[in-house]
Chains A and B, each alone.
Chain A
Amino acid sequence: EVQLQESGPGLVKPSQSLSLTCSVTGYSITSNYWGWIRKFPGNKMEWMGYISYSGSTSYNPSLKSRISITRDTSKNQFFLQLNSVTTEDTATYYCARTNYGSYDSWGQGVMVTVSS
């Protein structure tokens, strides 16, 4: 059974970079697509981007200049970096696996607050 677990700092200062790790067990990240999704206070959800089984990426244009998704296949992990954060980036961040376009397995999520 695939399991995903997000990790990273819960507090980031404005203008700094947010860096999160998604550790995957029970399934190889060299198969399927792997994404990041966030949920803002108030319930709005935003798809941020994905990294594919081959390492190609696709990002939400609203974030394109600030986001980077990378991976380490030897550790079966993939990563989110979001630069120049503001208080509007405060959210719960989820990593998830895509199966034929549907995000079918999710991590528990990590809450990140952007505040000085």
Chain B
Amino acid sequence: DIQMTQSPSVLSASVGDRVTLNCKASQNINKYLNWYQQKLGEAPKLLIYNTNNLQTGIPSRFSGSGSGTDYTLTISSLQPEDVATYFCFQHNSWPLTFGSGTKLEIK
């Protein structure tokens, strides 16, 4: 199975900050990497698919990049409503696997 490692596990930042979340795969996943946002008590929401494609309706402050084994989710200007846990997810190889999540907090 492909292991997905996210860092940091907890990130605390101020409103307006640029924040970067990282996801590292144990092998090349050919950019088949998605990012999900999950707020407390809600279903996961797809933010970015296939590394850098913004899902319909997602604010443009979210962006993704990466290749090979290393991927990044960037929020250009952190907003209070961005408080959530963020998961990466690879759909390159079976079984599909998730990262362990980064919990994003506001300072």
Chain A contacts to B: CB under 8 angstroms:
43-47, 58, 60-62, 94, 100-104, 106-109
Bound complex: CA A107 to CA B43 (Å)? 6
List the A residue with the shortest CB-CB distance to B9: A43
Please state if B91 and A102 are interface contacts (CB–CB under 8 Å).
yes
List the B residue with the shortest CB-CB distance to A98: B91
Please state if B44 and A94 are interface contacts (CB–CB under 8 Å).
yes
Categorize the interface residue count of chain B: 20 to 34
Chain B contacts to A: CB under 8 angstroms:
32, 34, 42-46, 49-50, 55, 85, 87, 89, 91, 94-98, 100-101
**Residue numbers in B under 8 Å from A45 (CB-CB):** 87, 89, 98, 101
Please state if A43 and B42 are interface contacts (CB–CB under 8 Å).
no
Please state if A101 and B32 are interface contacts (CB–CB under 8 Å).
yes
List the B residue with the shortest CB-CB distance to A106: B43
Tell whether A60 pairs with B95 under 8 Å between CB atoms, given A44-B100, A103-B46, A108-B42: yes
Tell whether A43 pairs with B85 under 8 Å between CB atoms, given A94-B43, A104-B46: yes
Bound complex: CA A109 to CA B98 (Å)? 17
Output the residue of B32, B44, B87, B101 with the most chain A CB within 10 A.
B44
Please state if B98 and A47 are interface contacts (CB–CB under 8 Å).
yes
Bound complex: CA A94 to CA B49 (Å)? 19
Please state if A47 and B44 are interface contacts (CB–CB under 8 Å).
no
